[in-house]
Amino acid sequence: MEPKVNPGEASPVGGAGEGRATGGGGPVRGGAGGEPGGPGSDLHLELSDGPGGRRGALMRALRDAVRTGRLAPGTRLPPYRTLAADLGLARNTVAEAYAELVAEGWLTARQGSGTRVADRAAPPDSGRPRRPTTPSRPRRPVHDLVQGTPDASAFPRTAWLASARRALTAAPHEAFGPGDPRGRTELRHAVAAYLARARGVRADPARIVVCSGFANALRLLGQVIDGTIAVESYGLGFHRSLLTAAGRTTFALPIDEHGAQVRELPGSGAAAALLTPAHQFPTGGPLHPARRAALIDWARAEGGVVLEDDYDGEFRYDRQPVGAVQGLDPDRVVYIGSVSKSLSPALRLGWMVLPGHLVDAVLELKGERESWASALEQLTLADFLASGSYDRHVRRMRRLYRRRRDRLVAALAERAPHVQVTGIAAGLHAVLGLPAGTERSVVQAAAWQGLAVEGLGLYRHGEATGVPGDGLVVGYGTPPEHAFAGALNALCEALPPPP
């Protein structure tokens, strides 16, 4: 028989279908709806011999789980029928244990809400003096103008979901097996078609290898290419660190308003050169046509490889499209792209368009199975590209980012006309020139305004020469639309007054 409950009293049991519990190993696992201990969850309890028989053993196990914090306040317990069945106990035994723990204050029970750990049943203080705690990272600033990420609120959720549904419906059965290190053939063909049309890349799908983003590609290439690698004197230190970790030595190519000075390459002994030809990062501007030609001449004459980071190649505002260097010589250039800026870094999808002589080496290094890039997300991206949704999204974001860039330029013209703004013809960031020796103080002043922004010196190679000087790298892609005005105001407040 079920234990009787007096009228008006809450039953210490959950409703139908609330959850399951097992006597097996494992902590509490969240069930349907994402609530710990909610419907469909499992509960690990170890019953030990002792006074009170099986009911006493169950009560001790539940108290211990609450006392140690394994069952947090508010956690919903499985219905007593379910727990009884899984632990091999009588239903009355579990119901009586629940009722007694409710009476003791360990649990609470409300009609329709089930049985839960009481809020006041948190683990007691050990009595030992507590050490002052410090956060592992600073508090998130109020405003964010750090470069490198798109507006996360603008992700095309509806269109992406439609592509995901179509891709899942059409996916062959083998797509749910071990992943191919080359990447899904659907994505490689879609990427080849898009790059040929939009970026002037000569892309054979057989030479495309899917990766989990630019960093993943650089890790692989750093192990495949043997020798010193030339990099631009300003760029992401993270990328240089990846090459160093792969055992590669880097040296800096000076940059100016026309991009990297590639005349430094002949006779340097470099095996490869990592460049951002479409939009030099972070100073801005495309690589001059004459330097593009000289770059290819060097690669052909000395057997070098160009690693082309197509940074911001799709976001241009005041200039004609600049095609990829890879189109000049697919046998000497590795074209690397991703959706981190155009869609979201959360997707972790990118690609390498490789010269034929590097394909097998990269695949051997990746191994027999794809370890990082999800096959289902690859299929979704393939549909997103083939359906035209990607083009529509890029055009929409190009308009949005151009408006933000224009608002940035207008705000500076009104409130800080003495500050020079460069690198604004394309991309998701601008460079603000600062008086010599003021960069660090301006970054600190921005922090006082609750603004996260980075100084230009952060991107400088340790051996860089001919440096551009002090400046700020202002990313206008990150803030959501409603927060952009506040970020601009904080930036203007942090800038130094006219000389």
Which string of DSSP letters, residue by residue, matches 164-179?
Answer: HHHHHHH--GGGGSSP
The reported pLDDT for the residue numbered 7 is 35
User: Are the CB atoms for 337 and 314 separated by under 8 Å?
Assistant: no
Kindly state whether residue 26 falls inside one of the protein's structural domains: no
The CATH number of the domain where 340 resides is what? Answer: 3.40.640.10
pLDDT at 104 (0 to 100): 86
Indicate whether 321 belongs to any domain. Answer: yes
Q: Are residues 79 and 224 in the same domain?
A: no
d(CA 102, CA 5): 13
Beta-sheet strands, E only, within 135-279: 143-144, 208-211, 229-232, 250-253, 255-256, 259-260, 272-275
The Cα–Cα gap between 387 and 256 comes to: 40
Task: Say what the pLDDT of residue 466 is.
Answer: 63
pLDDT of res. 499: 81
* Alpha-carbon span 403 to 429, nearest angstrom: 13
Q: ∠ CA(299), CA(300), CA(303), 5° rounding?
A: 65
Tokens of 369: 């199975």
Tell me if 10 is assigned to some domain. no
Name the maximum alpha-carbon separation found in the chain: 92
75 vs 61: CA distance, rounded Å: 15
The half-sphere exposure of 349 on its side-chain side, counting CA atoms within 13 A, is: 20
What pLDDT, on the 0 to 100 scale, is given for residue 140?
64
Whether residues 313 and 384 share a domain: the answer is: yes
Contacts of 494 (CB under 8 A, 6+ apart): 442, 445, 446, 448, 449, 451, 453
b or e along 465-481 (b: 16 or more beta carbons within 10 Å of the residue's beta carbon)? eeebebbbbbbbbbbee
Identify whether residues 382 and 485 lie together within a single domain. Answer: no
- Looking at the fold, whether 264 and 281 belong to one and the same domain comes out as yes
402 and 378 both lie in a single domain: no
Residue type at position 318: D
Predicted local confidence at residue 120, as pLDDT = 66
Within 342-448, residue ranges assigned H as helices are 356-366, 375-386, 389-415, 439-448
pLDDT given for residue 467 in this prediction: 65
**Whole-prediction pTM value?**
0.77
- The residue written with tokens 């399951």 in the block is 20
- Domain range enclosing 81: 32-121
Which of 391, 424, 441 is at the close of a domain? Answer: 391
Note the pLDDT of residue 25: 36
Q: Is residue 11 part of a domain?
A: no
Return the structure tokens found at 404.
């933000």
* Residues 247, 351 share a domain: yes
φ, ψ at 232 (rounded to 5°): -70, 145
Residues 70 and 180 in one domain: no
∠ at Cα 271 (266, 276), nearest 5°? 80
**Whole-angstrom distance, CA of residue 336 vs CA of residue 199:** 12
For residue 40, CA distances in Å to 20, 62, 74, 79 come to 6, 19, 16, 11
For residue 82, give the DSSP letter: H
Q: Does residue 6 lie within any of the structural domains?
A: no
Residue 489's CATH number: 3.90.1150.10
Is there a domain that residue 297 lies in?
yes
Instruction: Flag whether 14 is in a domain.
Output: no
Domain boundary among 355, 374, 391: 391
* Under-50 pLDDT residues of the chain: 1-40, 121, 125-139
pLDDT at 135: 44
> What does the chain come to in residues?
499
* 19 and 79 Cβ atoms separated by less than 8 Å: yes
- Give the DSSP letter string of 107-143: EEEETTTEEEE-GGGPPPP-SSPPPPP--SSPPPPSE
* Domain-ending residue, one of 354, 371, 391: 391
Lookup result for tokens 């899917």: 210
In a domain, 204, yes or no: yes
- Indicate which CATH number applies to the domain containing 84: 1.10.10.10
Q: Are both 321 and 261 inside the same structural domain?
A: yes
Q: Where would I find the H helices in 41-90?
A: 53-67, 80-87
| pLDDT attached to residue 240 | 94
* Three-state DSSP class for residue 282: coil
Judge whether 306 and 230 are in contact, CB under 8 Å. no
Specify whether 260 is located in the same domain as 194: yes
192 and 298, same structural domain? yes
Please check whether residues 216 and 273 belong to one and the same domain: yes
Q: Are residues 420 and 386 in the same domain?
A: no
User: Crossing angle for the helix pair 91-104 and 53-67, nearest 10 degrees?
Assistant: 50
Give the burial class of 162: count Cβ atoms within 10 A of its Cβ; 0-12 exposed, 13-18 middle, 19 or more buried.
Answer: middle
Report percent pLDDT > 70 for the chain. Answer: 87
SS3 334: strand
Domain count, the chain: 3
Provide CB contacts within 8 A for 70, sequence distance 6+.
Answer: 27, 28
